[in-house]
Amino acid sequence: MRFLLIEDNEELAAAVVDRLSLDGHVVDHAADLSTASDFTSVTSYDLILLDIMLPDGDGRSFLNSHRNSKNSTPVIVLTARSEVSDRVGMLDSGADDFMVKPIDFSELEARCRAVLRRRGGKSTNRITVGDLTFDSLAGTLETPTEVVQLRPRELRLIEILINAPGQIFSKGALVDRLFSYDEDVSENAIEVYIGRLRRHLSASRTEIVTVRGLGYKLDAS
């Protein structure tokens, strides 16, 4: 998954990026609203983590603009304000959840998973397609013959495919979802990870299909 973190505290931002990256997520960091707007104008995100007090304005203005533009990307607000009225105001403005600083990273990860589940209309971390079951919390892929412990980037790639079975993803779209701006990678990297996942799926009737000239899709037929 690709996240946008809007946070001006460099130490906190670095800690959040490091923690979420360990889970295989791509996290772009914007230290102000201007940079955040530049990022969202060219990139689609799965989740936005938004600080309120920023050098060039109030994060609530970003949230209001985000929702007024009909952008459905979920937003978790990171705030030092613990008053009920502040929390109610942020939720009414379109925030999907919030966390009061200082942040507990285990709770942050759990809230990210919960928000993403709600966005996908799912109630658990387990997704079954055909004879394949993926557990995003455990990081496992269960086939008819084994349970595979996935590496972080394998995990995020199958997560993209299994959440939209039958949908075709181009190599470029997958690069955008799996790698940050700082990583110099080519689309050939996607072929490598697709190859690894196909080996994991060798005993399953569910397969990753190459659609010539277009990309890849997960097929459970």
SS3 170: coil
State the fold for domain 2-119.
Rossmann fold (3.40.50)
The tens digit of pLDDT for each residue in 5-34 reads 999 999 999 999 999 998 889 999 999 999
Which amino acid does the sequence have at 8? D
Query: What is the Cα 11 distance to its own chain's centre?
Result: 22
Sign of CA dihedral 120, 199, 179, 166: negative
Determine what percent of the chain is predicted with pLDDT higher than 70: 99
8 Å CB contact between 1 and 116: yes
Q: What are phi and psi of 45, to 5 degrees?
A: -120, 155
Q: Does residue 123 carry a pLDDT above 70? A: no
Pick the CATH number of 126-219 from 1.10.10.10, 1.20.120.520, 1.20.990.10, 1.10.287.130: 1.10.10.10
Q: Does residue 66 carry a pLDDT above 90? A: no
Average pLDDT over residues 148-161: 94
- CA–CA separation, 117 and 195 (whole Å): 27
Q: What is the enclosing helix (H) or strand (E) of 58?
A: strand 57-58
Cis peptide before 102 (omega within 30 of 0): yes
The tens digit of pLDDT for each residue in 81-102 reads 767 777 787 888 889 998 989 9
SS3 128: strand
- CA–CA separation, 192 and 188 (whole Å): 7
8 Å CB contact between 32 and 56: yes
The tens digit of pLDDT for each residue in 158-210 reads 999 999 999 999 999 999 888 887 777 888 899 999 999 999 999 999 999 99
The CA-CA-CA angle for residues 62, 71, 39, to 5°, reads: 60
Sign of CA dihedral 106, 112, 114, 117: negative
Average pLDDT over residues 115-142: 87
8 Å CB contact between 62 and 38: no
Domain boundaries, the chain: 2-119, 126-219
Residue 185 token pair: 């990678």
168: Cβ contacts below 8 Å, ≥ 6 apart: 211, 214, 215, 216, 217
User: Which residues share a beta bridge with 126?
Assistant: 135
Q: What is the enclosing helix (H) or strand (E) of 171?
A: helix 171-178
**pLDDT for 40:** 92
